[in-house]
Amino acid sequence: METGEIADAEALLEDRIDVQSKDALRVWLYLLKCSKRLEQEMSDRFRVNFSSSLSRFDVLAHLDLAGAEGLSTSQLAGRLLASKGNITRLLDRMEQDGLIERRQPLSDRRVSRICLAPRGAELFSRMAPAHEGWCQDILAGLTDSDRDSLIRLLRRIKDRLDQHMK
């Protein structure tokens, strides 16, 4: 290869890297914008329809999945991707509202388990189908194939992020 050809090849490579870099930034921005917009839309719908919040729904959903055994505050914080301090304040308010109960197992009084209270279970039983319907409504413009592709691609991104966090 001549010197001029090498320079041309390097310039093409730099242009390609620059385009890939800009594409990566565009993907990141669209993901961020969609995530924030989806979160805001769901928060608004929970506030209007249930006088509640997405955070409360998230707590109720995880406790519903956990069953009668419930979850420790640390387990719940890990699943919600929130700090233990923020979770504690949210749980305090939810307990005052009768949505959750803190139970201390006889085997270890140092750790409390967070469980759904009957009022929280009833609220969740109304919120879950509404949430599912809202998701269907918001994503109605996507075909089954689009949704499958999106799930596959987002899972790849999540897996890559999980690898970097290890």
Residue 64 belongs to domain with CATH number: 1.10.10.10
Q: Give the model's pLDDT for residue 2.
A: 57
Using the predicted structure, report yes or no on whether residue 77 has a pLDDT greater than 60: yes
Residue 4 included in any domain: no
Q: State the Cα torsion 13-152-32-140 to the nearest 10°.
A: 130
The amino acid sitting at 18 is D
Q: Look at residue 104 and tell me if it is in a domain.
A: yes
pLDDT mean across residues, the chain: 87
Q: Tell me the two tokens of residue 69.
A: 């055994």
- Amino acid letter at 7? A
Say if CB 90 and CB 99 are below 8 A apart: no
125 falls within a domain: yes
Domain count, the chain: 1
Sign of the torsion formed by the C-alpha atoms of 136, 139, 141 and 144: negative
At 81, the pLDDT band (50, 70, 90 cuts) reads low
In a domain, 41, yes or no: no
| Domain assignment present for 56 | yes
26 falls within a domain = no
Q: Of all residues in the chain, what percent carry a pLDDT higher than 70?
A: 81
Q: What is the dihedral of CA 61, 67, 68, 73, to 10 degrees?
A: -50
In terms of residue numbers, what domain contains 92?
Answer: 51-165
